[in-house]
């Protein structure tokens, strides 16, 4: 498209180049902003992180300028101005922090507008004016460095900003120390991080300056540290630091310590970062490779069948005998190729967690709630398309937790809880699935409030009592919401029913557990990849069905002595309590014509709480990863049908959604 020659084609090209990169920078920037908010709230020094944000902003500005996105370039330029005042000693307060945050929001909005080719919302004019006014406040003038016995080579290597920090510390009569580190290249990051961390407990690391001219394989750095008390070798992590030398101020005795450090030019440290070895690839390209690999496997599978037939006819031809292992070897490698491509599509959940963290900060700020977001297992990997589809429901659940779950600080205090609420997002891999918990320590699902809301919406009969299991089911009903107040972010009208539908589309499931007054946990289970869904293949009515593993609670081999008849099916004496069982043919067939009883030796258990039920099938054939394909619109709305898959020689098989099937049984779609 970029080659069409027209200006708009070029524009499309640079847009495609710009958007992902800019979004990545902005994501990073807003993470750092959250960090800054945390550091600021804790009253710790913010300079380090302000610097990082400054660098992010600078890259965004440069990139936007390069590819000609003037609005974003100029907005980031003004943000950069503001940040540079902060770096040079400007005061960081709540107003400034909000301004930075608003600007980042505006930048996100600008990117969104570019992506959807729609005009950006919001008033950029007044934001710009606020930025300009804030940046215009003069920073404190830098004091002199006279009287400091600092090696000229080091002084020359300091940036203007570092010099200002130095003179500021000097002006405040803090002790200045040079700490020499030496390490080999492998240990570099660890040693540097550890030392810096320790130094920052004591004081402020003003600059890290690489030392030149060392023997091969060795690296050394001087850390210029400002602290209130004297810094001694014992304060440093043992074994990492080579020497400590206090910089004399006027009238002090000349320091003793290691030899005069020599410095490398500024920026030497940054260049030490190795290239990332990353390459950006459009997901569509990977999909295409995956589709090709899939077609190839199909072709080889039919080749395998032909080879088998030929072998039967020419059993004594040794060349024919050699064919089968060859075909097997090709299949095995093809499977490896498919796996490889699927793995290449995996990304850490971190990306979506960070996005949610940003929103949480905003919701908490505007909603008068005090809450911290904790994430666990952010490095858990998941398919890019699954992650993208998972982001809206996760975001919804998290903002719900803040809006409706977490109480106001006063309310919490009255309930004997800490004023600050907690929302935890945790992810871990379980076999072929990723399990994500959204946990809050808020008020939980109120039985009476739920009952009243359900009654008001006609979901239950007036006065009908409900159990907590039923309450946990009712909140997923369309149109259900107990929110007395509608927040800007979680909005109105999009409820948990939509969240559940999104999860179903992902061949996943959602469950909730709640203790009134103590909190709520939503558990989401999704397959790691949608390209291949791990499934159990079962037989019923003489045909095969695939059931995604992620939505199966348990596979049961039925013991006939534990079966007894029950309403609409049978009841099984399960160790966890009585389990209702339904035959698959009864759940699935719209007309009773195919009703025919097989052995019914196994059951697939799905659903939770009151909706937990087992689906009786005749046989387990095995487990296999299947590609789920959409069925035509004539079947799309059949309850319990999630799609279909091609089992090769065995033909097409329906992919079932066991939860929807047992839900149908519960809702009385199945009449005994």
Partner 1 sequence: MDTSSPEPSLETGRSSPARSVLAFTIESREFALPLAPIVEITRYRVATPVPHIEPAIEGILPLRGRMMTLLDVRRYLSRPPRVAGSSAQVIVVESAGDLLGLVVDSVSRVLTTEAPAGPRSAPAGFSRPDLFEGVLRLDDAEILLLDLEALLRGLA
Residues that bind partner 1 (CB under 8 A): 291, 294-295, 541, 543-544, 588-591, 594, 629-635, 638, 641, 643-644, 646, 651-654
The tokens for 274 are: 């190795």
Residue 482 sits at the vertex; the CA angle it makes with 476 and 484, to the nearest 5 degrees, is 150
Q: Which is nearer to partner 1, 136 or 291 (CB)?
A: 291
Q: Which is nearer to partner 1, 239 or 542 (CB)?
A: 542
CB 299 → partner 1: shortest distance, Å?
12
CB 591 → partner 1: shortest distance, Å?
6
Q: Which is nearer to partner 1, 445 or 588 (CB)?
A: 588
CA atoms within 13 A on the CB side of 409: 10
What is the DSSP secondary-structure string of 289-316?
Answer: HHHHHHHHHHHHHHHHHHHHHHHHHTTT
Token pair 């070798």: residue: 233
Q: Which is nearer to partner 1, 137 or 635 (CB)?
A: 635
Q: Which is nearer to partner 1, 294 or 444 (CB)?
A: 294
Q: Which residues contact 419 (CB under 8 A, 6 or more apart)?
A: 370, 409, 412, 413
CB 61 → partner 1: shortest distance, Å?
44
> CB atoms < 10 A from the CB of 461, how many?
8
Q: Which residues contact 620 (CB under 8 A, 6 or more apart)?
A: 536, 537, 538, 539, 555, 602
Q: Which is nearer to partner 1, 75 or 642 (CB)?
A: 642
Q: Which is nearer to partner 1, 183 or 645 (CB)?
A: 645
CB 541 → partner 1: shortest distance, Å?
8
Q: Which residues contact 157 (CB under 8 A, 6 or more apart)?
A: 207, 209, 263, 264, 265, 266
User: How many helices (DSSP H) and strands (DSSP E) are in the chain?
Assistant: 19, 22
The tokens for 380 are: 């858990």
CB 544 → partner 1: shortest distance, Å?
8
Distances (CA, A) of 260 to 221, 246, 252, 263, 525: 12, 12, 18, 10, 59
Q: Which is nearer to partner 1, 305 or 630 (CB)?
A: 630
CB 297 → partner 1: shortest distance, Å?
12
CB 664 → partner 1: shortest distance, Å?
11
CB 658 → partner 1: shortest distance, Å?
15
Q: Which is nearer to partner 1, 269 or 296 (CB)?
A: 296
53 within 8 A of 46, measured Cβ to Cβ: no
CA atoms within 13 A on the CB side of 562: 17
Report the alpha-carbon distance of residue 395 to residue 353 in Å, rounded.
9
Report the alpha-carbon distance of residue 128 to residue 116 in Å, rounded.
23
CB 534 → partner 1: shortest distance, Å?
20
Distances (CA, A) of 508 to 503, 531, 658: 5, 14, 11
């Amino acid at each position: 498209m970029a080659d069409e020659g027209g200006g708009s084609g070029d524009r499309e090209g640079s847009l495609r180049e710009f958007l992902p990169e800019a979004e990545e920078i902005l994501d990073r920037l807003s993470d750092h902003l959250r960090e800054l908010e945390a550091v600021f709230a804790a009253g710790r020094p913010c300079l380090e992180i302000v610097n990082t944000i400054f660098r992010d902003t600078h890259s965004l500005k440069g990139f936007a300028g390069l590819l000609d996105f003037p609005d974003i370039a100029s907005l980031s330029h003004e943000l950069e101005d503001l940040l540079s005042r902060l770096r040079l000693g400007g005061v960081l307060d709540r107003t400034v922090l909000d301004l930075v945050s608003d600007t980042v929001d505006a930048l996100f909005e600008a990117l969104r507008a570019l992506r959807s080719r729609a005009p950006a919302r919001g008033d950029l004019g007044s934001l710009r004016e606020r930025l300009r006014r804030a940046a215009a406040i003069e920073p404190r003038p830098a004091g002199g460095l006279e009287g400091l016995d600092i090696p000229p080579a080091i002084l020359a290597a300091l940036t203007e900003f570092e010099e200002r920090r130095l003179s500021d510390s000097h002006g405040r009569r803090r002790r200045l120390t040079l700490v020499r580190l030496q390490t080999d290249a492998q240990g570099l990051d660890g040693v540097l991080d550890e030392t810096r961390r320790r130094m920052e407990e004591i004081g402020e690391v003003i600059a890290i300056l690489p030392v030149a001219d060392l023997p091969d394989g060795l690296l050394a750095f001087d850390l210029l540290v400002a602290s209130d008390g004297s810094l001694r070798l014992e304060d440093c992590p043992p074994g990492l630091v080579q020497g400590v030398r206090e910089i004399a101020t006027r009238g002090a005795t000349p320091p003793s310590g290691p030899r005069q450090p020599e410095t490398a030019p500024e920026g030497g440290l940054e260049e030490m970062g190795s290239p990332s070895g990353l390459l950006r690839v459009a997901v569509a390209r990977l999909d295409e490779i995956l589709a090709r690999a899939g077609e190839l496997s199909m072709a080889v599978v039919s080749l395998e069948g032909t080879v088998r037939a030929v072998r039967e006819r020419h059993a004594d031809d040794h060349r024919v005998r050699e064919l089968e292992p060859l075909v097997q070897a090709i299949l095995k490698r093809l499977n490896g190729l498919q796996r490889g491509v699927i793995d290449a599509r995996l990304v850490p959940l971190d990306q979506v967690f960070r996005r949610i963290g940003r929103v949480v900060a905003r919701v908490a700020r505007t909603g008068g709630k005090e809450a911290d977001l904790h994430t666990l297992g952010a490095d858990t990997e998941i398919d890019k398309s699954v992650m993208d589809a998972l982001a809206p429901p996760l975001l919804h659940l998290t903002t719900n937790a803040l809006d409706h779950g977490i109480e106001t600080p006063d309310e919490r205090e009255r309930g004997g809880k800490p004023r600050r609420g907690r929302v935890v997002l945790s992810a871990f891999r379980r076999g072929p699935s990723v399990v994500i918990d959204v946990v809050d320590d808020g008020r939980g699902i109120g039985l009476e409030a739920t009952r009243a809301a359900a009654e008001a919406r006609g979901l239950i009969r007036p006065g009908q009592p409900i159990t907590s299991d039923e309450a946990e089911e009712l909140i997923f009903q369309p149109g259900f919401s107990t929110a007395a107040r509608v927040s800007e972010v979680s909005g109105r009208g999009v409820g948990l029913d939509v969240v559940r539908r999104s999860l179903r589309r992902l061949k996943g499931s959602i469950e909730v557990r709640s203790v009134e007054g103590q909190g709520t946990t939503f558990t989401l289970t999704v397959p790691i990849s949608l390209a291949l869904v791990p499934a159990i293949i079962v037989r019923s009515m003489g045909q095969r069905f695939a059931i995604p593993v992620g939505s199966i609670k348990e596979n049961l081999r039925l013991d006939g002595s534990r079966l007894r008849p029950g309403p609409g099916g049978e009841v099984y004496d399960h160790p966890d309590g009585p389990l209702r069982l339904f035959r698959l043919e009864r759940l699935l067939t719209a007309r009773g014509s195919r009703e025919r009883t097989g052995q019914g030796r196994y059951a697939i258990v799905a659903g939770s709480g009151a909706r937990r039920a087992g689906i009786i099938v005749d046989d387990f054939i095995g487990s296999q990863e299947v590609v789920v394909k959409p069925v035509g619109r004539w079947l799309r709305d059949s309850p319990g049908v999630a799609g279909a898959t091609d089992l090769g020689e065995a033909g097409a098989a329906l992919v079932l959604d066991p939860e929807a099937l047992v839900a149908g049984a519960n809702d009385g779609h199945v009449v005994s």
